Homo-oligomer: A and B are copies of this chain.
Amino acid sequence: MTYCVAMRLQEGLVFASDSRTNAGVDHIATFRKLNVFAQAGERVLVLQSAGNLATTQSVLSLLRQRCQEEKLNLMNVGSLYDAATLVGNTVREVIARDGGQQQSGINFSCNLLLGGQIHGQPHRLFHIYPEGNFIEASDDTPYFQIGESKYGKPIIDRVLAHDTPLDQAMQCALISLDSTLRSNLSVGMPLDVMRYRRDSFDATDQHRISEDDPDFHRLRQAWSHGLLELFAQLPPQKWTHSK
C-alpha cells in the first residue's frame, strides 16, 4: 500500500507521500510517489500515485515521454483541468493495455492526485480515479488522500480548513503520516514532501525526510508525548468510578 495526502489551501498547495511499495509482506521496496512537472515561472504540476506500481510507473513514464513526443502534453496543456483529463486518459490507456490480457485476479488499478498551477490561473487539486474520471478539491473539502487513508484522516478532519497556513498544513500532513506509519506496516519512510506557494511557480520547496531526520523525529516525539499527557488529563466519565 501507500499513503499520499494533498491539500489545496488559500496560500497554496501541500503534498506529502510515503515511499513504501509492497507486493505481499516479502516484497517491499522504496519508490518515490511524488513527481513534479515544472517550468519555473510558468507552471508547476505535482502528481502523487497509489496502487499497482507497474500501472503508476507506466502512467508516469508515458506522461514524461510524451512531453517530448506529443503535441499536447503536461508541459503545455492550457489548464489544470486539461492536465487532469490527460492523466485520466493515460490511466485508462495503461489499465486497458495491461489489465485486459489475462484472468490473473491482479488489481491493475491506481489512484492519482494532481495539484498545481498554470500561470494566469488559480491553483487547483484533483483526485483521478482508476476509471480515468476525477474530482476537484474545494474550499469545503480542501484535501484528498489516496492509499491507506483511514488511519491519518481523523487528525486532518480536526485541524485542516481552507485558510490553514501552509506551514501548519504541512505539520498536519506529517502528523497524519506519523499516525499511519505507526499503525500500518505497508506505509514506510522516507517521506517526500513539497509545499507550493500560490503564484510562485516555484517547485523547489521539496524535501525528502529520512528515518533519522532530527526535526521529524522531534515532531513525532512531541506529538506522542503530548497525546499521552493530554490523554492522562481527560475528564473522567461519571460512571467511571461507579464500581
A contact residues vs B (CB 8 Å cutoff): 148, 150-155, 157-159, 167-168, 170-172, 174-175, 179-180, 182-184, 195, 197, 205, 207, 215-216, 218-219, 222-224, 226-228, 230-231, 233-243
Integer count of this chain's copies in the complex: 2
Cross-chain contact B237 with A183 (CB below 8 angstroms)? no
* Alpha-carbon distance between A158 and B224 when the two chains are bound, in angstroms: 7
Q: What B residues does A158 contact at CB under 8 A? A: 182, 224, 227-228
Cross-chain contact B183 with A154 (CB below 8 angstroms)? yes
Q: What B residues does A195 contact at CB under 8 A? A: 243
- Our pick among B155, B174, B243 for the contact of A205 (Cβ within 8 Å) is B243
Cross-chain contact A231 with B171 (CB below 8 angstroms)? yes
Q: Report A222 CB to chain B, min CB distance, Å.
A: 5
Q: Report A166 CB to chain B, min CB distance, Å.
A: 9
* Alpha-carbon distance between A233 and B175 when the two chains are bound, in angstroms: 13
